[in-house]
Chain A
Amino acid sequence: MAVLNLTVDGVRYDDYIEERTLLVHLLRDRLGKVSTRVGCDTNECGACTVLVDGRAVRSCSMLALQADGRTVTTVDSASHAVDGPVPHQTPSHQAVLEALAQTFRRHRATPCGFCTPGMLLSAVDLLSECPVPTEDEVRDALAGTRCRCGDEHTVVRAVLSAVTELRGLTPAERSRGTTSRDAPPPDPNQGESATDSAATARTDHTLAGHRGAAS
């Protein structure tokens, strides 16, 4: 047993763990961060990607002890945006993750959702290094995260779309971490149980087109 101190999504965690515990197992089994997936166990698929001190790493290939004293970010961290930015994160990280989440939804880049957390965090890492990447750079950055549904193209589109959106923000807005929360896209169907906007948009399109054709 060894002592471990680390910060996960803004919350400090101190405990004794077995030395051999992998970071992904710590996150999933002890901290309940099940958005961190176990995909391949072999450093191939990227489903377990998290940010350690802001850089994307494969948590299946890292001992939890290697993250001792560091900060770990999963996609769950974005939920803290409701109450303001997570203390340990740079504000831009927050904005980038929020913006990416929005464009992923809008582009329906989340087919089965398994790889999505890893995709998002890989993209955050990319955009923090390279705020305006080319398409090839996006592809290279995401190459290590495998989409089982074969939807890389929509993911790339979503990331590029987020880049465009983030560029449209003033630096002040970016540092406040207010991408889309302040100005949500108008959704007439937003009710107490409204569907996700992406799915709604899709079926709206379908049915509207259908009606038009039928009448």
Chain B
Amino acid sequence: MTGLSASSVTLPVADAERQYLDATRRGEDLAPPGTLHLAILRSPYAHARLARVDVEGARDCPGVVAVHTGAELAEEWTTVPFPAEPGPPVPAELRVPPRLPIAVDTVRFVGEPVAVVAATSGYAAVDALDAIEIDYEPLPPIRDVEEALAPDAPSVHDSAPGNRCFLHRQAHGHYESAREHADVVLARQLRHPWPLATDDPPPSVVVDVDDAHGTYTVWSDTRDPDQVRDVLAHITGVPVTGLRVLTPGPVGTRDPAAEPYAEDAVALLLARKLGRPTTWSATGGEARPRDARHDDLVQEVEICARRDGTILGLRLHQLVAVGAYLSPVSPRGLGFAELGPYLVDAHELRCTGVFTTTPPTTRLGPDTAAATFAIERIIDELAAELGLDPVVLRRRNWAEPRFDAVTTRALELVDYDELRRRRRDQESSAVRLGIGLTTTTRRRPTDARRQSSERPEGPSASVRVLPTGRVEVVTAAAAFGHGHLATFARVVADTLEVPLQDVRVVPADTPHSPAPGSASDARMLVLGGMAVLRASERVIEGARSAAARTLGCRLEELRYGRGAFHTRRAPHRSVSLRALATTPLTGHGVAPDVATDKEPVDADHTTGDVHAAHVAAVEVDTETGVVDVLTYAVVDDTDTPLGLTAVRDGVILGIGRALVGTSGQDAESPADLRCCGPPGIVEGPAATARPAVPEPLAERLGGEAPPEVGSGRPNPVLLEEADQRRAAALTAVPAVVNAVADALRPLGVRDLVPPCTPDRVWRAIQAARADQSPSPVPGRGETEGEVGDRP
């Protein structure tokens, strides 16, 4: 290993992981000698018929080994499956149009593969693309939800009339009757554009061929090698046993990595046809349109309440563009979030997925973050409508009084009364103060999982004590460079009380996976770590009876500590796990069960909810639209030993999303830019054009006491840091947008689409001034278009 080369610098990893990875490498770094480089020709049209595809010229280019069109390969693979894994309930109405990795006669998004070249070098492959001739007959593009649902909209797929992909419904109580009894009904149409995930490292894949065995090794930038293996086996017909799928190293941190890329299938098919290893890595421009995820989410939200602020009902209809095809990822995120900490008797939640001629998204629906955004926004709007303080309105609707504690503390931290006073004072000045709140309840990840699926999900793990004393941990969690494996090693060493250096962690590698695991974005650490923890505990439990026999004592007399069993009667006698693992080899007596297999995470423990309150105060310069964060407080009651750094970092990230991040939806951008547009900036506030952001004030109120390690009750918050950061980031977005809306409400600005960039804020103010519309009378089905984003 070379000192500071990638391995030692860039990965905070266990030696186990380092040994396996050797470096933080990417698939493209692993191509064996003689690998063919693939280049893919992609559609420049969002929607077009392929009238002619002529690749003959490319076949004669130097270095070219093979060129194929979608039509030539159509018989050699089958349509991309859906869903690839059992997950949350599949929506009642679901249409899955066929999709092949390379388009055959119609292209349906910018960047859809049309032809592939295999050549001896990357430069030669890209050169050959220029010699391919294609005649496109453009068809009308469908760019967003509204266009897709327009009565005369053309169909993206013949098999999906009206461009409807799915409808998911969830209801509680009788919303209509609640609405009839309400004094106030307030409806809003919100947009919650997600940042495009274009900043991920461009994906790459390497397929190695073992001719002797007819097997293939696929290095894929995925977090879920099991899923990729199953999808690839389905598409290409290679048996599952002939495919080994591995994750090479860091692959970024967001969802695009979860989709089994069509290019993986292309590389595998060509490797099989040509009998040679293949590699493909996206150029930045190639990856960008494809990595776009659901940046088009329309939320029609309606809330009804009594005059005193008692919320009677909530209706949320979310319309989401899934892109041109369903991604072979299960419809996660369709299950709606709980309604936060509020008691709402009647609610009706709907989610409609629509096809558009945009790249397929890897998520099919809005998730907790989107629902939280809609609910928290409408509650602040309702407070304004009723002339109530948003804090008072929230307090009137707590599901349980104890939710108040975090909110009260957060308000103390920012000195809420003083802020309110200052806001009143500044109401006529050019720089307006605004205060926004978000109060949330979220379930622990494991509990939420249980809600959404009967089948336990999450990367499974097995822990095995070898006769050498080495503890081998096999996890279905992919090593994608976030140091999970180091933490896993630590959990095992701590639970078994063995030296850390005895623990080896083997990351996801399909032939050895203990059980198919679903690696879920930020929750890898929580879910995978839980599985490792429980598997370790099972090792101790499993060895107990063998230890009792060896020591000649009763089970209840055994104590476990420092990697060995002891007996109370004779404290000097002990037998170690290693010894128990050795005995069967040496032929003496007992056969201990010091291994556990297939320990998926399950959620048979409940640890209650986590409550959090975020309060943001911002100053908006009404003349420039610049928003500065004045103060920010976050208080939660997670019972975790972790510090608050993750929460603070998350808040800053969230502020960045609310104020800085762009999504390519600026009204002045040509609409096509949504497909292949400007780079999405998903980062926290960077150096340039950075709003003033103070360090968030964060506190944690004592929650429940965490369960003891080894007590049989795994502690799901043990490894929750990543999850906390994510939750804080997502909760911060509505708090900041609420604050900006609060500052601008006296000017007549009714809504804002995040990110609240100076440009958008300024235009929202101008639009409101130009159209000092009378206060709307909210009524049935009436929605208000958002101000600011659209001319």
Binding site for B on A (CB under 8 A): 18, 20-21, 25, 28-29, 34-35, 37-42, 44-45, 47, 75-82, 97-98, 101, 104-105, 108, 110-114, 116-117, 120, 136, 139-143, 146-154, 189, 191-196, 198-200, 202-214
Shortest distance from the beta carbon of A153 to any chain B beta carbon, whole Å: 6
A80, A97, A112, A192: which contacts B482 (Cβ < 8 A)? Answer: A112
Residues of chain A contacted by B653 (CB below 8 angstroms)? 150
Q: Which of B246-289 contact A (CB under 8 A)?
A: 249-254, 281, 283-285
A111, A150, A189: which contacts B683 (Cβ < 8 A)? Answer: A150
Could you say which of B450-458, B486-494, B553-561, B611-619 contacts chain A? B486-494
Verify if B682 is at the interface (C-beta below 8 Å from A).
yes
Known: A38-B281, A42-B284, A79-B4. A101 touches B9 (CB 8 A): yes
Known: A79-B3, A196-B11, A206-B641. A214 touches B708 (CB 8 A): yes
Most B CB atoms within 10 A — which of A28, A34, A97? A34
Shortest distance from the beta carbon of B705 to any chain A beta carbon, whole Å: 6
Q: In the bound complex, do residue A44 and residue B284 qualify as a contact, i.e. CB atoms below 8 Å apart?
A: yes
Q: In the bound complex, do residue B201 and residue A114 qualify as a contact, i.e. CB atoms below 8 Å apart?
A: yes
Shortest distance from the beta carbon of B628 to any chain A beta carbon, whole Å: 15
Shortest distance from the beta carbon of A120 to any chain B beta carbon, whole Å: 7
Number of interface residues of B (CB under 8 A): 78
Q: In the bound complex, do residue B490 and residue A203 qualify as a contact, i.e. CB atoms below 8 Å apart?
A: yes
Q: In the bound complex, do residue B10 and residue A214 qualify as a contact, i.e. CB atoms below 8 Å apart?
A: no
Most A CB atoms within 10 A — which of B9, B285, B641, B688? B9
Q: In the bound complex, do residue B718 and residue A206 qualify as a contact, i.e. CB atoms below 8 Å apart?
A: yes
Verify if B481 is at the interface (C-beta below 8 Å from A).
yes
Residues of chain B contacted by A139 (CB below 8 angstroms)? 686-687, 690
Q: In the bound complex, do residue A105 and residue B5 qualify as a contact, i.e. CB atoms below 8 Å apart?
A: no
Binding site for A on B (CB under 8 A): 2-6, 8-16, 19, 23-26, 28-29, 122-123, 199-202, 249-254, 281, 283-285, 480-483, 486-487, 489-491, 494, 499-501, 503-504, 639, 641-643, 649, 652-653, 656, 679, 682-684, 686-688, 690, 705-709, 715, 718-719, 721, 729
Dominant SS among interface residues on chain A: helix
Q: In the bound complex, do residue A113 and residue B250 qualify as a contact, i.e. CB atoms below 8 Å apart?
A: yes
Q: In the bound complex, do residue B2 and residue A76 qualify as a contact, i.e. CB atoms below 8 Å apart?
A: yes
Dominant SS among interface residues on chain B: loop
A-B contacts, 7 listed (Cβ < 8 Å): A112-B24, A116-B6, A147-B683, A195-B489, A205-B643, A209-B642, A210-B706
Residues of chain B contacted by A35 (CB below 8 angstroms)? 5-6, 9-10, 23
Q: In the bound complex, do residue A42 and residue B285 qualify as a contact, i.e. CB atoms below 8 Å apart?
A: yes
Q: In the bound complex, do residue A114 and residue B504 qualify as a contact, i.e. CB atoms below 8 Å apart?
A: no
Bound-state Cα–Cα, A199 to B25, Å: 19
Q: In the bound complex, do residue A37 and residue B201 qualify as a contact, i.e. CB atoms below 8 Å apart?
A: yes
Q: A75-B9, A81-B3 are in contact. List 15 more A-B contacts (CB 8 A).
A: A34-B23, A39-B202, A76-B5, A80-B3, A110-B9, A113-B6, A139-B686, A142-B687, A150-B653, A150-B683, A152-B686, A191-B500, A194-B501, A210-B709, A214-B705
Residues of chain A contacted by B486 (CB below 8 angstroms)? 195-196, 199-200, 203
Shortest distance from the beta carbon of A45 to any chain B beta carbon, whole Å: 7
Residues of chain A contacted by B4 (CB below 8 angstroms)? 75-79, 81, 97-98, 101
Find the A residue at minimum CB distance from B252: A148
Bound-state Cα–Cα, A105 to B28, Å: 25
Q: In the bound complex, do residue B487 and residue A148 qualify as a contact, i.e. CB atoms below 8 Å apart?
A: no
Residues of chain B contacted by A152 (CB below 8 angstroms)? 683-684, 686
A34, A42, A189: which contacts B6 (Cβ < 8 A)? Answer: A34
Bound-state Cα–Cα, A185 to B205, Å: 39
Q: In the bound complex, do residue B284 and residue A150 qualify as a contact, i.e. CB atoms below 8 Å apart?
A: no
Q: In the bound complex, do residue B6 and residue A150 qualify as a contact, i.e. CB atoms below 8 Å apart?
A: no
Bound-state Cα–Cα, A34 to B6, Å: 8
A20, A110, A140, A207: which contacts B123 (Cβ < 8 A)? Answer: A20
Bound-state Cα–Cα, A148 to B26, Å: 15
Residues of chain B contacted by A189 (CB below 8 angstroms)? 500
Bound-state Cα–Cα, A151 to B482, Å: 12
A42, A44, A141, A213: which contacts B641 (Cβ < 8 A)? Answer: A213
Residues of chain B contacted by A196 (CB below 8 angstroms)? 11-14, 483, 486
Q: In the bound complex, do residue A117 and residue B10 qualify as a contact, i.e. CB atoms below 8 Å apart?
A: yes
A81, A150, A194: which contacts B500 (Cβ < 8 A)? Answer: A194
Shortest distance from the beta carbon of A177 to any chain B beta carbon, whole Å: 12
Known: A34-B6, A139-B686, A195-B489. A40 touches B679 (CB 8 A): yes
Bound-state Cα–Cα, A96 to B3, Å: 15
Residues of chain A contacted by B28 (CB below 8 angstroms)? 38
Known: A75-B6, A78-B4, A151-B649. A214 touches B706 (CB 8 A): yes
Residues of chain B contacted by A203 (CB below 8 angstroms)? 486-487, 490-491, 494
Shortest distance from the beta carbon of B204 to any chain A beta carbon, whole Å: 9
Residues of chain A contacted by B29 (CB below 8 angstroms)? 28, 34
Residues of chain B contacted by A150 (CB below 8 angstroms)? 253, 653, 656, 682-684, 729
Find the B residue at minimum CB distance from A149: B253
Most B CB atoms within 10 A — which of A108, A205, A210? A210
Known: A34-B6, A111-B482. A195 touches B500 (CB 8 A): yes
Find the A residue at minimum CB distance from B1: A79
Q: In the bound complex, do residue A79 and residue B2 qualify as a contact, i.e. CB atoms below 8 Å apart?
A: yes
Residues of chain A contacted by B718 (CB below 8 angstroms)? 206-207, 210
Bound-state Cα–Cα, A199 to B6, Å: 16
Find the A residue at minimum CB distance from B487: A203
Q: In the bound complex, do residue A140 and residue B687 qualify as a contact, i.e. CB atoms below 8 Å apart?
A: yes
Residues of chain A contacted by B3 (CB below 8 angstroms)? 78-82
